[in-house]
Amino acid sequence: MTYYAVRKTDTPAIKNAPLEGLYEGSGYFSNVQLAIALVVIPWLVKRVLPIVNRGGWKTYIFMFLLCGLPVTVGYWTLMSRYEEYITIHDPELKAKYNGKEKIPMQVFHDAYFNSKIDFNGDVLDVLEQRHDWTKMVFTLELFKYVFFTFIPEVVMHTENQDQEQVRDHYDRGDDFYSWFLGPRMIYTSGVVTDLTREETLEELQDNKLTVVCEKLDLQPEDHLLDIGCGWGTLAAFAAKNYNCKVTGVTLAEKQTAFGNARIAANGCDTTRAQILCTDARYIPGGRGAYNKIVSLEMAEHVGIRRYQSFLKQVYNLLDDDGIFVFQVAGLRPHWQYEDLIWGLFMNKYVFPGADASCSLGWVVSQLEAAGFEVKNIDVLGVHYSATIHRWYKNWVANKEKVLKVYGERWYRIWVFFLAYSVIIARNGGSSVFQFTLHKNLNAYPRILGVPNHNSIHVTPKREILPVD
């Protein structure tokens, strides 16, 4: 195997990858190597031990039979590192994989969710070494899921499907989400601003809220629409700090109640800031009803089939002089099989129906086709890894609470999801794109957007001298 130079990071801001976690191990144990060991080791023993070194073929065959079992066990123990990483309880799986070949990731995680396999140690630490004990291959179960569940849902993506999947997911219970999201109750990527320390989850989310509101250039006379507002934290933050009018929209009933309570608890005027429980298809207001619109990681649930119609709906709701901040999770275009297998796991177990996580280029083409001009793009994948790492630690710390209310299976699904997502986002398999957009109109006052165009306002780390 060829190893390439890899620069290992060491910053408290994120969960840094171990160097060996960046490489892929071998796929199978070698039967040829085992055969050679079975032939050579008895011969060496016969040559070295004085008591048998003068014997002939019968002595060699005796030594072969005597050494065969311990050599086989020793080889499997040496070459199989499963025992270091995982323990297989299921007899059928143990007979098939333990000490023989790597277990497919889909087979592993399904068995883990059903308590047929356990991690030997911290889930995230063991997953960092996943290439030692698992392989990224398509299985029959994955083919069945793709052709009989995933593709039909992508093609249909009905309103009833959205309502059923969103409410099943987000109305599971506010306690469930609070045990990893923490007090901010924000289910989207935060923003890292300090590499010298481990910022808290709350700091990451407050950083993100500030970045978004500044990109929107919020003013007291603005009317902000938050599409897919979750538990209403951004709506409350904008109303509290920028004194603007805010309308948040979510399809989850519990999020609606939580968000409106949060707005009131923060002393905001509830006649100017409110959360509505409605499908995004039915957002109130006519053409140009809102001069600022934000949507953070909601469009994945819209689906590929409705993506363009959703963006055109946003275009119509936005004032001609308005600003749209759009954050969406995405995938790299030159994907690896691990990216695909992880993505299918996410669609099946975590975000059913969220089929619109696509490449940056695809999203840009959709935005431009809807009539938007892209002012700025920030790629926040590593920030998401840092955010999810905080979620992971919260979830593990609240394990006993989760087990008591939701049981072992839900704990296992979520701890695997969070741990694996820390790695995938850090390695570039998944990412988050944050766009600042406006309508692509001749009359749009582009020059007025310069002051809040954050990426062009930099502070040099050294004295800059002009070239004469």
pLDDT computed for residue 342 by the predictor: 92
Segments of the chain with pLDDT less than 70: 1-7, 19-31, 34, 46, 51-54, 72-83, 99-100, 156-171, 353-356
pLDDT at residue number 171 = 58
Q: Which amino acid is at 336?
A: Q
* Spatial distance between the Cα atoms of 409 and 115, rounded to a whole number of angstroms: 8
Q: Residue 122, Cβ neighbours under 10 Å: how many?
A: 13
In this prediction, residue 225 carries a pLDDT of 99
Residue 431's H or E segment, with its range, is strand 430-439
Run of H or E residues at 84? helix 82-85
Element of type H or E holding 435: strand 430-439
Q: For the whole model, what pTM was predicted?
A: 0.84
- Residue 409 one-letter amino acid: R
The pLDDT value given to residue 202: 99
pLDDT score recorded for residue 8: 74
Q: Report the relative pairing of strands 103-104 and 134-135 from DSSP bridges.
A: parallel
Q: What is the pLDDT of residue 329?
A: 94
List, in order of start, the domains of the chain with CATH numbers: 26-135 (no CATH), 159-456 (3.40.50.150)
- Identify the pLDDT of residue 99: 64
